[in-house]
Structure 1
Amino acid sequence: MDVNQIVKIHKALGDSTRYKIIQTIGKGNCLCAGQLGCDLDGIPSSTLSHHLKQLSDCGIIIPEKQGTYIFYKLNEDIIRKFVPYLCDSDSTIEPKL
């Protein structure tokens, strides 16, 4: 992994909205934007789309097109390396957002 990719990942993780998106996808395993929008009340769909693109571009989430929908799932390799406490179901770490 190159330095630019690592910087992108850290920038993406530094935003509280993107962190909430990562947590929500982690709980739901594989979600489409509509499902995420329902779970993350108050985020306009255009803003959600922007955040999903940022997370996808740095490799934290993986988009998968299924019919007319795009579903998002966590890239477990990246998550284990940069946010390992999201993989631990017994984790009690809750960042202050």
Structure 2
Amino acid sequence: MNVNDEMAVKVYKAIGEPTRLQLVKKLASEPQMACMEITDQLDIHSNSTLTYHLKILIDCGLLVVRKEGTYRYYSLQRDVLEKYAPTLIPD
């Protein structure tokens, strides 16, 4: 299996889970979101649950994190999403 195939498997496994798919769809329509925004909008009640899902999306290359003080802002790597799941990008 080549590197592109391995990346595709990681991305599809990541977005194959309903919560992570919702998260990716939400971030596809926002330039970036902080943790509090994500938990409020996706009704995630546990920080550890959110951290778990975010880590998987970061590890597969779909998300990047930007730290600003004590806040972390998450945004999509649009080029990765366009390559592996272009139908998730809103028109």
Superposed pair shares fold, TM > 0.5 = yes
Instruction: Note the residue ranges of structure 1 that are not aligned, 5 or more in a row.
Output: 90-97
CA distance in 2, matches of 1:7, 1:86: 17
Q: Percent identity?
A: 33
The count of aligned residue pairs is 89
TM-fit CA distance, 1:8: 1.0
Please give the per-residue CA displacement for 1:20-42, whole angstroms capped at 9, x wherever unaligned. Answer: 01111122220011110000114
- Residue 67 of structure 2 aligns to a residue whose secondary structure is strand
Q: Using a 3 Å threshold, how does the CA distance of structure 1 residues 42 and 32 change in structure 2: closer, same or farther?
A: closer
**2:88 aligned with 1:82, yes or no?**
no
- Aligned match of 1:54: 56
Pick one of 35, 38, 44 that aligns with 1:36.
38
- Residue 29 of structure 2 aligns to a residue whose secondary structure is helix
The structure where helix makes up a greater share of residues is: 2
- Aligned match of 2:22: 20
TM-score (norm 2): 0.87
CA distance in 2, matches of 1:79, 1:42: 23
Which structure would you say has the larger RCO, counting Cα contacts within 8 Å and 6 or more residues apart?
A: 2
